[in-house]
Structure 1
Amino acid sequence: MTSNPFQPPQAVLADSLPPSVVVPEAIAKKIKNCWMAGVVSIAITLIFALLAISGSFNPLRIDAWTFVDIGLMAVFTFGVYKKSRTCAILLLGLFVMNKALMWTQSGQTSGLPLALVFFWLYGQGVVGTFQYHKLLSSRSADV
């Protein structure tokens, strides 16, 4: 009998824990730029939706369903902030779907340069989250 049954349990010390994963700056930057673009997109959409609801300005024919979009963007953006691959893909898909729908309804591709910037940032977020999870799986295999 090597252990005393009346001995109190020992706490896990920080020195005995496995080392935390250090995320390269390039991966962290891709993820950060993606969720920041999501926050900017949410803010712009919210401003246009509030102006449309007030009746003072509505060139894009925005209605109350826009708030569903804002909610989805907020959830997916928070998921990207938490480094979720699924949310990064869904955020990119939601953006592409909204732009395609808006451009087909209006018949013109207004705001194409800005849309390309957001598409790039969301795409880099997808790449960054996949790179992050690949890094995590390679580090857990090492331990």
Structure 2
Amino acid sequence: MAADILPRLCMHYSVADVEIRGCEKTCAIVAKAVPATEEDWQTEYLAPILSIKVVADMDEAIAHINRYGSHHTDSIITENFSKARIFLNEVDSSSVMVNASTRFADGFEYGLGAEVGISTDKIHARGPVGLDGLTSQKYVVLGDGHIRQ
């Protein structure tokens, strides 16, 4: 699958001057890809750089996301509803999405009003805490290729 998808995706990224960093498999498929380091998997670049890791299966993908991800927002593109449910349940992020842009991860989009901050921690209220303060939320977004522009 990666051999079919990555060249087409990376062609678009190349036009947009996005640098691709990848695992050995990615570099074998995408000629312009730079070998990724361990640090790359843990970096939020704040620049047009994308790290791509080709994985063998869903379990490896979820393990990679849970180890290296920001725990903020993660999305899967799939037509397999049972795989989508596994992703939704096992990815440890505050927002998980199926077939939708991660740009929907926004307090306003969730109907919470203006966003004043973002927390990926599971720690919440200080001081007197009621039942509400003892819970955390996980947002689930199901889409059909929806994007936010």
TM range (shorter): under 0.3
Q: Which structure carries more relative contact order (alpha carbon 8 Å, separation 6+)?
A: 1
TM-score, normalising length: structure 2 = 0.23
